[in-house]
Amino acid sequence: MKKLKTIIKIYFLLCILVFFQSFFGLKKKYACGIDVFVRTQGLAVWYFIVPISVIIGFVFLKNEMNYNMIVRKKNIKEIWLDILLNIFHSGYIITFLLFLSCETIAVLYGNFYKWDETTSLFYMLTRGTLNYLNLKFFIFMYLVSTFFYVVISQLLVQVIWWWTGNYVMGMLVTIGLFAVLIRNGLPWLMRSGVYYDIWTAPISNFYQFIFPILLIVVLIGLGYLKRKRDFL
């Protein structure tokens, strides 16, 4: 029951954040409902999704870092495994709540899709129109890419905490690193997600799926390399 209340609070918080992110960041004259989803990705990954996933992830993972929970584990690998399970668990919860909040705010725009018009944000940013968009595929891409962003950012925080013992450092380094990488045009962040440019060229399966999975595997491996850990 307590966890359900936490999830409901997070949902309403995300609705508020998405509302301000959209209504004050999009030109309502040209925007439509689907732009709300796009608004939470692209350049917004580092200042929207990453901070949200890092902070909310801490809410879900704080019990795993509690000394009373740690002493119950048999070995350090079991502790890391529990942390990983909680990261993936919180990852799909945050992804679903973010999608649901975007859907809630998108309704306020009335017109859900207008990328086929010259009076759309899509046209303003790409100088072209998109007459047809497979909505199911768009939702799939949004959920998958958001899940990857959330899990990778949380994993990075945990790996830094795991090796240094400083969780705050992990949070700050993760947010800062994403900011630097996206500002410098990291191909993975530029060619993944559902941002407008993605739909003007062939979708890269490598950057959308393969690269983030490999990155997740590497981060998990870095945690397992830590043989000893002082939790006192």
Tens of each residue's pLDDT in the chain, 232 residues: 677 888 888 999 999 999 998 887 787 789 999 999 999 988 788 889 999 999 888 887 766 555 555 555 667 788 888 889 999 999 999 999 999 999 999 998 889 999 999 999 999 999 999 999 999 999 999 999 999 999 999 999 999 988 888 888 999 999 999 999 888 888 898 899 999 999 998 999 999 999 999 999 999 999 888 766 555 4
- CA distances, 193 to each of 11, 40, 63, 159 (Å): 21, 10, 31, 24
Long-range contacts of 108-117, Cβ-Cβ distance < 8 Å, separation of 24 or more: 108/19, 109/28, 109/31, 109/32, 109/33, 109/35, 109/36, 110/33, 111/32, 111/33, 112/32, 112/33, 112/34, 113/32, 113/33, 113/34, 114/32, 115/32, 115/34
Entry pTM: 0.92
Please compute, for residue 142, the number of CA atoms within 13 A of its CA located in the half-sphere on the CB side: 25
| Helix intervals (H) in the chain | 2-23, 33-39, 44, 50-61, 67-70, 76-106, 121-126, 135-164, 167-183, 187-190, 205, 211-224
Q: Would you state the pLDDT for residue 118? A: 94
